[in-house]
A and B are shown apart, each in its own frame.
Chain A
Amino acid sequence: MTSIGTGYDLSASTYSPDGRIFQVEYANKAVENSGTAIGLKVKDGVVLAVEKLVHSKLLVPGANRRIQTVDRHIGLATAGLPADGRTVANRARDEAAGYRDFYRSPPTLKTIADRIGHFVQMYTLYSSVRPFGISTILGAVDKDGPALGYHGAAVGKGRQLAKTELEKLKLSELTAREAVIEAARIIYLVHEDAKEKEFELEMSWIGPETNGLHVAVPKDLFDEAEAKAKEALVSGLE
């Protein structure tokens, strides 16, 4: 990288001579060091899935979550520095609570995404702070139905392959249940591609079966999806 040592890459408040803000680009590197996160918006709901890299076998499975709940109906998945992810999630919760307090109604995803966008952007302007080392996917089912900003989204290390896989799906025709199966398959696929250390699949959804709430995918469906994902991997390799 030609920028290193030029002094134009030490602060988010400095442009390089060719108009780049290197600190923001470096923050993206932090995202690429972490497991993939994907979001699927389908016919009747939204599914979020994360490839959680496991750095020790002493970790308690299922604890240490990387998908957060922002409001009853809004979920947030992050790739990048986990501590930054929590900070943004906390801010999103505050925004949602503030919206509810002011308007006495549940916030739409667009409102929250806009506000979080503004919040995160502030950290790309000043030398006194560093940008967030995360990329975030927000999903919801609000008054306008399922919402994600995209039909499918992917961030983190395996995002290119994940996006290719998402593009193959007819997302607007899937049910939330079917989307859970697909999400698990894609996470397993991108993990296999990267040949990383161990990982744990984490999935949440909002759909007709959750009563409009953002909750973890129930165990039976999770197990089914994980089994099918492993199956697909084996048959895909043959």
Chain B
Amino acid sequence: MFRNTYDSDNTVFSPQGRLHQVEYALEAVKQGSAAVGLRSKTHSILLALKRSTGELASYQQKMFRIDDHVGIAIAGLTSDARVLSNFMRQQAMSSKMIFNRPVPVNRLVSAIADKAQVNTQEYGRRPYGVGFLVIGQDQSGPHLYEFSPSGNSYEYYAMSIGARSQSAKTYLEKHYKSFDDCSLEDLVRHGLHALRETLQQDKELNVNNTSIGIIGPAGASETGVPPSGPFRILEGDKIEVFLQSMVPKEPEAPAAAPAAPAAAAAPAADEDVQMEG
């Protein structure tokens, strides 16, 4: 069988100037279930699809609080995510300790990106196998960033990562111009609609498999949120009201067709594997 000799080591460039190990790490992100992030003038939010390994198992954790003003959603290897989120928490704490200032979100994201870059260049390591969506609020307002194993980080108006995230991306690209002036409720509805696009045909979003992370002032259905609107993760019954607000999907036979081959090409993509997130 033909073996690509430029892909077994992260310290080797292919003749085209590509880093195959890094590209494979990006594939690891796509093995995880999807996460969606978006922002308005006042809020930034995350939505994620949780998997469960079976009837007797709990659902996985897709979101982590870093600090009052920063939260993340992950797709890929949960163990790598925990290492990186611990590092982010340390950075946030040290900014508080040294300067009494919440760490600027972009610097936090750059810090893990710089960490990830080292793993793409030195022998004996592997690139991280996890992607993040990072939301945060600082002096310059609400933010949304994507971090990926390649060591790149970008700021977006809206973004999705994980399995079948392209479908969510298509939804976001169609609607992102209206997000700026959205209320929290409208923003969450857009997020749920985008996340819904990543589901397999027979599945739907429910209170068990969906997480919502919010930074910004409390929404109409929320209670006990401090005025500063710190990061919070809504799960279970608290998201029922948001799920109710979703507009049922119009059954579009032609639109569903192009999504089908993608799912067929990777039938195992949504199967549950222990290490994956």
Q: How far is the CA of A23 from the CA of B121 in the complex (A)?
A: 13
Q: For residue A63, which residues in chain B have a CB less than 8 angstroms away from its CB?
A: 106, 154-155
User: Is A26 a contact partner of B15 (Cβ separation < 8 A)?
Assistant: yes
- Residues B136-182 near A (CB distance < 8 A): 150-159, 169, 172-173, 176
A84 contacts B by Cβ under 8 Å: yes
Write out, one digit per residue, whether chain A residues 49-89 have a CB within 8 A of any chain B CB (1) or not (0).
00000001111100110000000000000000111101100
User: Is B114 a contact partner of A27 (Cβ separation < 8 A)?
Assistant: no
**CB proximity of A168 to chain B, nearest CB, Å:** 30
Stretch among B6-14, B63-71, B218-226 lining the A interface: B6-14
Stretch among A102-110, A126-134, A219-227 lining the B interface: A126-134
Q: For residue A58, which residues in chain B have a CB less than 8 angstroms away from its CB?
A: 156-159, 169, 172-173, 176
- Given A29-B16, A133-B13, answer yes or no on A86-B155 (Cβ-Cβ < 8 Å): no
The count of chain A contact residues (Cβ–Cβ below 8 Å) is 40
**CB proximity of B55 to chain A, nearest CB, Å:** 37
**CB proximity of B197 to chain A, nearest CB, Å:** 15
B274 contacts A by Cβ under 8 Å: no
**CB proximity of B106 to chain A, nearest CB, Å:** 8
Q: For residue B120, which residues in chain A have a CB less than 8 angstroms away from its CB?
A: 83
Q: How far is the CA of A162 from the CA of B11 in the complex (A)?
A: 31
Q: How far is the CA of A28 from the CA of B17 in the complex (A)?
A: 7
A9 contacts B by Cβ under 8 Å: yes
Which listed residue (A10, A11, A26) contacts B17, Cβ 8 A?
A: A26
B5 contacts A by Cβ under 8 Å: yes
B122 contacts A by Cβ under 8 Å: yes
User: Is B15 a contact partner of A60 (Cβ separation < 8 A)?
Assistant: no
- Given A5-B5, A64-B154, A83-B150, answer yes or no on A129-B122 (Cβ-Cβ < 8 Å): yes
- Residues B173-198 near A (CB distance < 8 A): 173, 176
